[in-house]
Amino acid sequence: MEKEKDLYRETWVRYLGYCNEVGEAFRRLVPSKLVTASYVVSTGYVCADTIDKSYKDYKKGSSLTNVGITASDVFIWQILASVVIPGFTINRITYFSGRLLRQADVHKKLAKYLPTAFGLLSIPFIIPPIDHSVDYLMDNTYRKYISRTT
């Protein structure tokens, strides 16, 4: 039997989790309300994945304890891998690249827009290592100490 594709991690829906990274990349150029809205979309994605996976666990007849463990595992993983770590990383990339460009006395227009470009261009490169790092972190902390009941 073929394994069901994970809607939230193996399809285009995964990109909704990266909405806040786009918001962070544009932080210097757009009103702060748009950046906040990007976090709302990403957090909605995190909650949708959490609800979906825990509900599937519940439908399979898992105990409420196991459903809670599934929900907390998915929520922690997603909030770290999709919102907190990438958002912070992009924020720092745009901030420090902007500082470096100003210190290098780059033309004002370039110094204004290049940090956003650097932030956007970095997204595909930072996501896989962040996902793997969060897997490693979860496997060696939370998942190691939280066990499912039978």
Write the DSSP string, 9-21: TSSGGGGGGGHHH
For residue 112, is it within any domain? yes
> Residue 89 above 60 pLDDT?
yes
For residue 136, is it within any domain? yes
Count of domains for the chain: 1
Instruction: State the pTM of this model.
Output: 0.88
pLDDT value at residue 23? 92
How high does pLDDT run on average in the chain?
Answer: 93
For residue 87, is it within any domain? yes
**DSSP one-letter string for 53-76:** HHHHHHHTT--HHHHHHHHHHHHH
Distance in angstroms (rounded) separating the CA atoms of residues 19 and 22: 5
For residue 45, is it within any domain? yes
Going 123 to 124 to 129 to 130, the CA torsion angle's sign is positive
Range of the domain at 18: 12-148
Distance in angstroms (rounded) separating the CA atoms of residues 32 and 75: 25
For residue 7, is it within any domain? no
**Helix, strand, coil share (%) of the chain residues, nearest 5:** 80, 0, 20
In the three-class reduction of DSSP (H, G, I as helix; E, B as strand; rest coil), residue 147 is classed as: coil
Residue pLDDT, tens place only, 6-54: 899 888 898 899 999 999 999 989 999 999 999 999 999 999 999 999 9
For residue 3, is it within any domain? no
Least confident of 45-54, 63-72, 101-110: 101-110
Pull the structure tokens for residue 6. 């994970």
Pull the structure tokens for residue 57. 């666990």
Residues 41/35, Cβ–Cβ less than 8 Å:
no
Distance in angstroms (rounded) separating the CA atoms of residues 94 and 96: 6
pLDDT value at residue 136? 98
